[in-house]
Chain A
Amino acid sequence: DGGITQSPKYLFRKEGQNVTLSCEQNLNHDAMYWYRQDPGQGLRLIYYSQIVNDFQKGDIAEGYSVSREKKESFPLTVTSAQKNPTAFYLCASSLWTGGKDTQYFGPGTRLTVL
């Protein structure tokens, strides 16, 4: 089955901890994205990557970090510097044929700070 997987589905973090969210895709997509979704708000872009070993900040990158060592994988680390990390995190991927490509989403990870 081709698709995007995210793990874990639920994640609990204590104050001051760093946590890493996993995102893997087997669609052979070039670009990958991380979004954050809060109740009553639209999805907001955290980071994106169009090619291995390269990534760019989105609109709300502060307190987050990413890596793109493999085409299939784009993990997101939520650091202790992120002031309000409780949210639903969504990973997406797309081809990159000039930029108008459709983004397809994974099932999401719900992060809760205890």
Chain B
Amino acid sequence: EDQVTQSPEALRLQEGESSSLNCSYTVSGLRGLFWYRQDPGKGPEFLFTLYSAGEEKEKERLKATLTKKESFLHITAPKPEDSATYLCASMDSSYKLIFGSGTRLLVRP
């Protein structure tokens, strides 16, 4: 069964303390790996799409990478405004998105 698992479930960082979020997937025929940011009570906001192993994308303090089994979202020198839930989703061979349950990130000043 196609599955996406995110870890850790929750992460607390001090401002400036870099870390990584993990997204493991077991999806046959991966068409793409998507990262979204979701603030409480709001809809997910698109961050990145990765299509092939070895691909990397960056946006401000965020960098997403992809291997054949997992993706990482690296957060460099985070600020309190980076606090949110980060969702990853894999697109399967039928072009449907399969979402993980998210990582809740809290960055303390």
Taking Cβ atoms with an 8 Å cutoff, the residues of A that contact B are 4, 6, 40-45, 58, 90, 99-100, 102-108, 110
Contact = CB atoms under 8 A, between A and B. Distances in A.
B109 interface: no
Interface of chain B, main secondary structure: strand
16 contacts: A42-B98, A42-B99, A43-B97, A43-B99, A45-B96, A90-B44, A99-B31, A100-B49, A102-B46, A102-B49, A103-B97, A105-B44, A105-B45, A107-B42, A107-B43, A108-B41
Contact of A100 (B42, B43, B87, B95): B95
Contact of B4 (A42, A90, A108): A42
Contacts of A108: 41-43
Chain B interface size range: 20 to 34
A104 B47 CA distance: 10
A45 B101 contact: no
3 pairs of A and B residues whose beta carbons are closest in the complex = A42-B99, A99-B95, A105-B43
A106 B51 contact: no
B72 interface: no
B91 interface: yes
Contacts of A58: 96
Interface of B: 4, 31-32, 34, 36, 41-46, 49, 51, 87, 89, 91, 95-102
B31 A100 contact: yes
Contacts of B100: 42
B92 to A, nearest CB: 10
Given A42-B4, A108-B41, A108-B43, A100 B32 contact: yes
A29 to B, nearest CB: 13
